[in-house]
A and B are shown apart, each in its own frame.
Chain A
Amino acid sequence: MLVNPAHLHLLLNHVPTVGSVVALGLLLLALVRRDEALKHAGLEVLFAIAVLTLPVYTSGVAAFMEIRNRPDISDQAMRIHQDAALAGFIATELAGFIAWVALWQTRRRGDAAPGVVPATIVMLALALAITGRAANVGGDIRHPEIRPDLQASETAASADQYVAGSISHVMVNSTWVWPLSETIHFLGLSLSFGVLLAVNLRILGVMKQFAFSDVHRLLPWGMLGFGVNLITGMLFFVGQPGQYAASSPFFWKVVFLMIAGANFLYLTVARHLWVDSGLESSPGDKAMAASSIAAWLAVLYAGRMLPFIGNAF
């Protein structure tokens, strides 16, 4: 592990709240001023926040694993924070997903379908409220003096009383939920990989007969595969956090997911990628496409090597 997960969490944990305030501000200002560029910026910031919220959550769980046995830290406070953070994570991802739909539609037709941007704003406001609560109860972990009602760690509460603990209970004790989720994870992987391959190979100059707009049409299918894998992947992570929290391949998997997320945003919105059939993309775009394929291969490699590198499993 390159960095201490608790420090990483403290470094990253303001991203969802502060970032969401910025995105919400941009979107509301865009609404008032009727400014398309501001709206676009707000949606892009929101997508980036949604991508960055993944390591905020996973580093938080890693920090929990690391400090849970310290007598001065309340197990209960951490579990309350974890449940609030899980709810905040889900709400932020949903807001980021709707923002992505708006960006994809805007790139294709010049504007998002009616209702998509308002839905983004409502979901983002909700996500901000939930994440704000998570941040608030997270503060209780290091400031027990303001919450004397929280139990100390010697009287640790039963994990099953909490949402994350209940999910973990099902994932670990059911004979078929884990294998079924793994199967869906592999099907989602194939779908998103196929789409990313088609889009990036076009940029690299294979099948130049395609207009870029026709491979761009496939992106929602890639997003579907990714969404399915985010859900099943989180089920694994919440189910057996001890396997992943301190695992170096998992750390790298998340790092490469961030790179892949940035690539995905670029593929969705970049204007000069839209070359007509028969035309070449620019060298810079080709480098981006190659890095996108490499990032997805690295995500796959790190994921498949999870049981073999490090001793977490």
Chain B
Amino acid sequence: MGVLDWIESTRLAIWMQESPSLLAFPTILTLHTTGMALLVGASWILDMRLLGINRNVPLSYYRWVFPVVGFGLIVNVTTGVMLFFKNAATWGTSIPFFIKMCLVVASAATIVPMRSYVVHGDRDQTVAVGKIRLLAIASILTWSGAVTAGRLLAYIM
């Protein structure tokens, strides 16, 4: 308990809780949504390719997805930590929040093997096979779950 209470009393947490500025909580929340759109949107474009949409396009052409996903992740980890600071004592002990974190980690984890498949694989590959298709399906489902959990946190907390 001590640590969570301490987090909530830091200057950052108090700024997030009390600042009337539109640049405080509202903008941090909006940046979190923008990061989500970049991260999830770009991931889904790659997932769609792995599931057969644009199968004539070589996989290596989809490298652009990873910097976008990486940028979105950096934005959302940063803003996510700031949003957590605001309500650390409640969220730090909440099961829905824990579920969201697990889904985010699982989603982000699917990126790693997909990246090595796309970046280090055979440049002329056009057909994605078995395991990588499963991974794409897992990516779509875990990101959908993470977005759903994140959105519902606002209603159940």
* Chain A residues close to B by CB (< 8 Å): 179, 182-183, 186-187, 189-195, 197-198, 201, 206-207, 209-210, 214, 217-218, 221, 297, 300-301, 304-305, 307-309
Contacts and interface: CB of A to CB of B under 8 A. Distances in A.
B54 A218 contact: yes
A308 B37 CA distance: 20
Interface centre among B41, B43, B45, B68 (most CB of A within 10 A): B41
Given A190-B41, A305-B30, 12 more contacts: A183-B152, A186-B147, A190-B44, A191-B41, A194-B42, A201-B64, A209-B61, A214-B57, A217-B54, A300-B37, A305-B22, A308-B26
Contacts of B29: 304
A297 B68 contact: no
Given A179-B151, A201-B64, A309-B22, A217 B45 contact: no
B61 A210 contact: yes
Nearest to B26: A308
Q: Which 10 A-B pairs have the closest CB atoms?
A: A194-B41, A308-B26, A190-B40, A193-B37, A304-B30, A193-B41, A179-B155, A207-B64, A183-B151, A209-B61
Contacts of A187: 144, 147-148
Contacts of B148: 183, 187
A304 B48 CA distance: 27
Contacts of A300: 30, 33-34, 37
Interface string B88-119: 00000000000000000000000000000000
A179 B96 CA distance: 15
A308 B34 CA distance: 16
B53 interface: yes
B98 to A, nearest CB: 19
Interface string B105-141: 0000000000000000000000000000000000000
Contacts of B152: 179, 183
Contact of A218 (B45, B144, B150): B45
Nearest to B41: A194
A190 B22 contact: no
B19 to A, nearest CB: 12
B30 A194 contact: no
Interface of B: 22, 25-26, 29-30, 33-34, 36-38, 40-45, 48, 53-54, 56-58, 61-64, 68, 143-144, 147-148, 150-152, 154-155
A179 B34 CA distance: 19
Chain B at the A interface: SS class = helix
A304 B147 CA distance: 15
A160 B30 CA distance: 35
Contacts of A182: 151, 154
Contacts of B33: 186, 189, 300, 304
Contact of B57 (A186, A210, A297, A307): A210
Nearest to A211: B57
Contact of B30 (A189, A190, A201, A301): A301
Nearest to A210: B61
A308 B64 CA distance: 34
Contacts of A304: 26, 29-30, 33
- With most chain B CB atoms within 10 A of its CB, the pick from A179, A186, A218, A307 is A186
B57 A194 contact: no
A305 B26 contact: yes
Given A186-B151, A304-B33, A194 B22 contact: no
A183 B147 contact: yes
B120 to A, nearest CB: 17
A214 B30 contact: no
A220 to B, nearest CB: 10
Given A197-B41, A209-B61, A218 B147 contact: no
14 contacts: A179-B151, A179-B154, A182-B154, A186-B33, A187-B147, A189-B37, A190-B44, A191-B41, A195-B41, A197-B42, A201-B64, A206-B64, A217-B53, A309-B26
